[in-house]
Amino acid sequence: MPGLQSTFLAMDTEEGVEVVWNELHFGDRKAFAAHEEKIQTVFEQLVLVDHPNIVKLHKYWLDTSEACARVIFITEYVSSGSLKQFLKKTKKNHKAMNARAWKRWCTQILSALSFLHACSPPIIHGNLTSDTIFIQHNGLIKIGSVWHRIFSNALPDDLRSPIRAEREELRNLHFFPPEYGEVADGTAVDIFSFGMCALEMAVLEIQTNGDTRVTEEAIARARHSLSDPNMR
């Protein structure tokens, strides 16, 4: 899972289902203790988020018994991996995504974003890429890493270092608007990211000619390569 230091596949012995065990580590225990109540408040809010197209956060706890303080939280296991992984596999045998499947998945992503944005206060995902969207074995789309932005924004700078954002990777910069981070976050950030995810789904991969960063020219080429006007 993006942004985490430790992620393990585990078994919920009470429910008899596979889950994901996630850990965030914090070396400064004193600073962590000073913000422990705020961290708990954030995760109490996240546990309440319940939508069929959002990876469920089942439970969490804080562990300060070791040298390194930890936030441990258990999330739903999504069996078919990330959207990025799926597109990479699909590209081996197809040039573009099936239009019907594309529309169905776009609708599911928008349903999840609409739910988050309708919360009070609105929950801005702020980290939406094809790496943070997952696919269930039955084709159901689920958005993951909803915890990322709301949690990192609740922490001071000295505690944010363990939390890696997808936008910090050059290959993911095109998923975020140029002004992101310079102005107050809003729902428009997620809509921009959704548009890029929808384009990448449609073409399976945005070609970059070997460049690490996806350029505006590469995005334009990808858009113009689509024959279906609804996908453009």
Query: Is residue 230 in a domain?
Result: no
Per-residue confidence (pLDDT) for residue 107, from 0 to 100 = 98
Query: Is residue 58 in a domain?
Result: yes
Kindly report whether the global pTM for this prediction surpasses the value 0.95: no
Query: Is residue 231 in a domain?
Result: no
Per-residue confidence (pLDDT) for residue 2, from 0 to 100 = 40
What CATH number does residue 110 fall under?
Answer: 1.10.510.10
Q: Are strands 17-26 and 6-12 parallel, antiparallel or unpaired?
A: antiparallel
113 dihedral zone (left: phi>0; alpha: psi -120 to 50; beta): alpha
Per-residue confidence (pLDDT) for residue 1, from 0 to 100 = 43
Question: For residue 21, what are the β-bridge partners?
Answer: 8, 74
Supply the range of the domain harboring residue 72: 6-224
- Mean pLDDT per block of 10 residues along the chain (232 residues) reads 68 87 85 87 92 96 87 93 93 88 97 96 91 94 88 69 56 82 78 96 82 83 87 78
Q: How many domains does the chain fold into? A: 1
Query: Is residue 19 in a domain?
Result: yes
Per-residue confidence (pLDDT) for residue 131, from 0 to 100 = 92
Query: Is residue 60 in a domain?
Result: yes
Residue 46 dihedral angles phi and psi, to the nearest 5° = -70, -35
Query: Is residue 197 in a domain?
Result: yes
Query: Is residue 229 in a domain?
Result: no
Tens of pLDDT along 146-191?
A: 987 777 777 776 665 555 555 556 678 889 888 776 666 789 999 9
Per-residue confidence (pLDDT) for residue 3, from 0 to 100 = 46
Query: Is residue 232 in a domain?
Result: no
